[in-house]
Structures are given as structure tokens and as C-alpha cells.
């Protein structure tokens, strides 16, 4: 590689590092090297990435915070006091994830959003993304909503702390991540997905992610865990019919809700996906990211 090309590659790696750190700065969360390297959207060896991090630190654009990396001019909230609470939420999610995974149609249970990223507070809920067999998604959601509500484990308008939120379901058929997850993809979608924490069915979850050409193309350094072949439905036609009825009712109910027509709403209700963001924040996240990025 010529000196000019080498210099261009080093500059590109530095820009990719700053792009990623700008995203995590939105949440005021510094990140460890492994998470940074996995999420970097440019192919590079670990030695080069460490070298460019050292360069950025010397340039006073990046700083180390308790062994993690953050932007030099951004403030970060300390999560030390909340670490026991975060551990408690993850442990609870793992316990309930195993219980939910006992349902024959559930193939993976994944924690997303604040608990997964690490920027929690005392009233944080636990957002779950659930993968089901085909033609079982609405039966599964209906059963879980009823059961968790009965056991006072489902968030509501009065209580959210430590309770579960069930806003996202997907079947093992997967989805077009770039089309079906959020209104504005960059920079949120890729980072949101790879920071998710599978608490049940991890191999299948990573299989679903790896099957996305969009996601794989943006994560050239990511080491995908090995996964078995996907598990599909059991072929019981009468349950298929019940799920179809649940789909039609869910579609009608969602369409009738005023919050579904909010300008920032991002809604997907199909036989293979339930994605309800009645006040999607992806556009605001993109704006915040751009603002932080342009001030470096």
C-alpha cells in the first residue's frame, strides 16, 4: 500500500471511530474497545484501530473514561451507582426470558434500548424484542400481554420501572431491517441491533441478524456467533387460523388508535412482524448525532 493510500485508510478509520463515538455520546455512554471494534463500519485490523485511537487521543478528540472511549468534549453520565440496578434488570430479563422461551412458539427473547445500551435510570423498563415461529406471532403476543399484565410485570401508564415492554415481534423468516425497523436508519439501526442482548435463543437471534445483507455489509469486523439452522412452524393449520384472526384484529386495533397516526409514528403490522413505535425517535437521534459529529 502506498503512503498516500495508507494515509487515506488511516483517516477513514479515524472518521469511522468518531462517527461511532458520536452515536454513543447521544446516550452519554463511553464504550470499551471490543464494542467499538465490532461496531466500526470500515474493515480494519485491531492494531490499526488502536493506533488511530491513540492518534485521536493525542489530538484531544477522544479521551479514556475508566478504560472506555468517549469524545473529549462530551460529558458522560456515571453509571457506577446504577450498575447494581442494571445487573438486576439484566438478571430479571434472563429469568423471564427463559420462562417466555418455554412457550413452544418463542425462539428468541432479546433486550433492546436503554437496558441493552447501558444508559438506564431508576425507572427504566425492560424492552423486549421477541422472535417466534411463523404464523404464531399474534398468538404469542396476545398470550404474553395477558399473562404479564396478570402478573403485574407489564408496563402501563402508571408504572414502568423494572417492568416489561412488548413493542416488537418478528418471526424466524426475518425482515428487511432497513425497511421495517425504523423511519431513519442511520446511524441508529445498526448500533441498536448489535447492542441488543439476547437472553434466550441467542444463536437464532444472531442468525436472523446475519441473514440481513444490510447489516452484514455495515459490520465488516463483526464476528458472528455460529448458529444452527432456523426453526420453523409446526404446521398446525388450526393454530395458523387463530394467528390469522389475531393478525386481523391487531391490524384493525392499531389502525384505529390516534397515536398510530402521529407524524413520528413508525408502524409495521404484518403476518411476520409487529413493530410499534408510536413516537419514533430515529429522526431525532440522527439530528443529535449529526450535531455532535459536526462539532468535533
pLDDT tens string, the chain, 296 residues long: the values are 566 888 999 999 999 999 999 999 999 999 999 999 999 999 999 999 999 999 999 999 999 998 999 999 999 977 678 788 999 999 999 999 999 999 999 999 999 999 999 888 889 999 999 999 999 999 999 999 999 999 999 998 888 889 999 989 999 988 899 999 999 999 999 999 999 999 999 999 998 898 899 998 999 998 877 654 444 444 566 677 788 888 888 878 887 888 888 888 888 888 888 888 888 789 999 999 999 999 98
Q: Which phi and psi (to 5°) does residue 90 adopt?
A: -65, -45
- Please give the pLDDT value at position 227: 52
What lies within 8 Å, CB to CB, of 281 at 6+ separation is: 264
Tell me the CATH number at 17.
1.10.10.10
Segments forming the whole domain that contains residue 36? 3-78
Domain co-membership, 93 together with 173: yes
Domain co-membership, 195 together with 168: yes
Domain co-membership, 127 together with 28: no
What lies within 8 Å, CB to CB, of 119 at 6+ separation is: 27, 28, 29, 77, 79
- The span from the CA of 269 to the CA of 30, in Å, is 35
**Domain finish residue from 78, 108, 124:** 78
Would you say the C-alpha torsion 137, 140, 143, 144 has a positive or negative sign?
Answer: negative
Domain co-membership, 14 together with 42: yes
In a domain, 288, yes or no: no
In a domain, 289, yes or no: no
Q: How many domains does the chain have?
A: 2
In a domain, 294, yes or no: no
Domain co-membership, 48 together with 154: no
Strand, coil or helix: 108:
strand
Question: Distance from CA of residue 23 to its chain's centroid?
Answer: 13
- Please give the pLDDT value at position 11: 95
Q: What single string gives the DSSP state of each residue in 7-68?
A: HHHHHHHHHHHHHHHHHHHHTT--B-HHHHHHH-SS---HHHHHHHHHHHHHTTSEEEETTE
**Domain finish residue from 50, 78, 106:** 78
- Please give the pLDDT value at position 2: 63
Domain co-membership, 174 together with 57: no
**Domain finish residue from 61, 78, 95:** 78
Q: Which three cell numbers stand for residue 219?
A: 459490520
Amino acid at each position: 500500500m502506498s503512503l498516500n493510500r495508507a494515509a487515506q485508510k488511516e483517516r477513514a478509520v479515524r472518521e469511522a471511530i468518531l462517527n461511532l463515538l458520536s452515536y454513543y455520546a447521544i446516550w452519554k455512554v463511553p464504550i470499551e474497545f471490543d464494542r467499538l471494534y465490532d461496531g466500526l463500519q470500515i474493515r480494519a485490523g485491531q492494531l490499526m484501530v488502536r493506533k488511530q485511537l491513540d492518534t485521536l487521543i493525542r489530538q484531544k478528540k477522544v479521551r479514556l473514561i475508566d478504560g472506555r472511549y468517549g469524545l473529549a468534549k462530551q460529558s458522560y453520565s456515571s453509571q457506577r451507582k446504577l450498575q447494581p440496578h442494571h445487573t438486576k434488570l439484566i438478571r430479571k430479563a434472563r429469568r423471564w426470558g427463559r420462562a417466555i422461551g418455554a412457550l413452544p412458539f418463542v425462539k428468541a427473547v432479546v433486550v433492546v434500548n436503554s437496558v441493552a445500551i447501558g444508559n438506564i435510570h431508576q425507572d427504566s423498563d425492560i424492552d423486549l424484542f421477541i422472535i417466534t415461529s411463523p404464523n404464531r406471532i399474534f398468538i404469542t403476543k396476545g398470550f404474553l400481554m395477558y399473562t404479564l399484565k396478570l402478573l403485574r410485570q407489564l408496563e402501563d401508564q402508571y408504572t414502568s420501572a423494572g417492568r416489561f415492554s412488548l413493542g416488537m415481534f418478528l418471526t424466524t423468516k426475518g425482515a428487511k431491517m432497513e425497511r421495517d425497523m425504523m423511519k431513519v436508519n442511520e446511524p441508529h439501526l445498526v448500533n441498536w441491533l448489535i447492542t441488543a442482548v439476547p437472553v434466550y435463543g441467542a444463536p437464532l437471534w444472531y442468525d436472523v441478524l446475519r441473514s440481513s445483507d444490510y447489516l452484514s455489509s455495515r459490520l465488516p469486523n463483526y464476528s458472528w456467533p455460529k448458529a444452527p439452522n432456523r426453526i420453523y412452524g409446526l404446521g398446525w393449520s388450526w393454530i395458523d387460523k387463530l394467528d390469522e384472526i389475531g393478525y386481523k384484529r391487531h391490524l384493525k386495533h392499531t389502525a384505529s388508535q390516534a397515536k398510530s397516526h402521529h407524524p413520528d409514528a413508525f408502524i409495521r403490522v404484518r403476518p411476520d412482524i409487529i413493530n410499534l413505535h408510536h413516537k419514533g425517535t430515529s429522526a431525532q437521534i440522527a439530528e443529535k448525532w449529526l450535531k455532535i459529529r459536526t462539532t468535533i
